[in-house]
A and B are shown apart, each in its own frame.
Chain A
Amino acid sequence: MPEIRLYPQDDGGLTIPSATGNAIYLPQFRLRAWVRIGGEYALRQAILDTGAPASIFTKHIWLPLHQSGRIEWLGEPPNPADHTVLPKVILLRGQYPFRLGRVTVELADLDSGSLRPVRILVQCVEDQPEREPLPRLLILGVADLLHGRTLTLRASADGAAWRGTISE
């Protein structure tokens, strides 16, 4: 059964003082995977967001893909037109206009091959140059990507060790 490994990791959360004087740590777990997009050679690290219906790419990710013809635009393709007509997505601490597109994504395992490529819906965010640019961000939503697949997460009894996979 083809399977790829995920990389759950605490990126560094918040330490909050409590009434008893003992600090409480709230971890910030991120589930990461490696992907190839649109048949590229490059491998990129993505964050898998199990609460997101669609994937999100910031402009540093999607613009080179667009220029090499790897995005199928579902509405207006990128143009210098006024971005105020575009729908917006709340991302980190701001609202950003986006265009919808479809790309081919291949989940890859760094040691043992990859899953079959699938077409996924992507919100391509216009975060430049109008406002403070977002960091290079590649978020994978679960729609399309997990169709017909199984996401497995296992945590040790003390929560210190996590293991994740996606199989088909």
Chain B
Amino acid sequence: MARSTKRGARKAMPGSEVIEHRTTPTSTGFLVPSVDQLATELTALEHHFPPPEAAEIAADCRWFQDQQTNGGLAAYRGMNVAVYQKAIVGTGANSLQLTLDLALALKLHPQRLVVEYIPRLGEFLSESLSRA
């Protein structure tokens, strides 16, 4: 079951205190972590885990590629998906938040996860085509 991440949650680094996200006001009134804060936390988190195995990452990329080629990711259009051990383990609108949440939850080096964006139908069409 893929887990969907929520923005604005507090995250605990392994073996340290709870980290407060620096937040940015949005038009909806919710406070979400800034992209700078998320990137800082992700970079810091990498030092808490051993390096991931290249062969394991490649195996998950192959699985993702097969799913993409065979149309198995259509249900995830417009979202980022995270793959681990040949399964989608999370989805989210914010790829950095998704990676951070799952790396903490699964106790993984963040770069062990394969996180990719699945475009909506026609999302990357050129402007001239989309006006047709």
Contacts and interface: CB of A to CB of B under 8 A. Distances in A.
A26 interface: yes
Interface string A34-47: 10000011111101
A9 B69 contact: yes
Contact of A60 (B43, B96, B114): B96
Contacts, number: 95
B34 A129 contact: yes
A9 B35 contact: no
B57 interface: yes
A4 to B, nearest CB: 12
A136 B52 contact: no
Nearest to B123: A135
Given A41-B54, A67-B43, A128 B35 contact: yes
- B contact face: mostly helix, strand, loop, or mixed: helix
B58 A43 contact: yes
A92 B124 contact: yes
Contact of B40 (A16, A30, A67, A136): A67
Given A28-B122, A63-B36, A9 B68 contact: yes
B35 A135 contact: no
Interface of B: 24, 34-36, 39-40, 42-43, 46, 51-52, 54, 57-58, 61-62, 64-65, 68-69, 80, 94-96, 109-117, 119, 121-125, 127, 129-130, 132
8 contacts: A11-B121, A34-B65, A41-B51, A41-B57, A45-B65, A92-B123, A129-B24, A137-B117
Given A42-B57, A108-B58, 6 more contacts: A14-B125, A28-B122, A40-B111, A41-B112, A45-B65, A129-B24
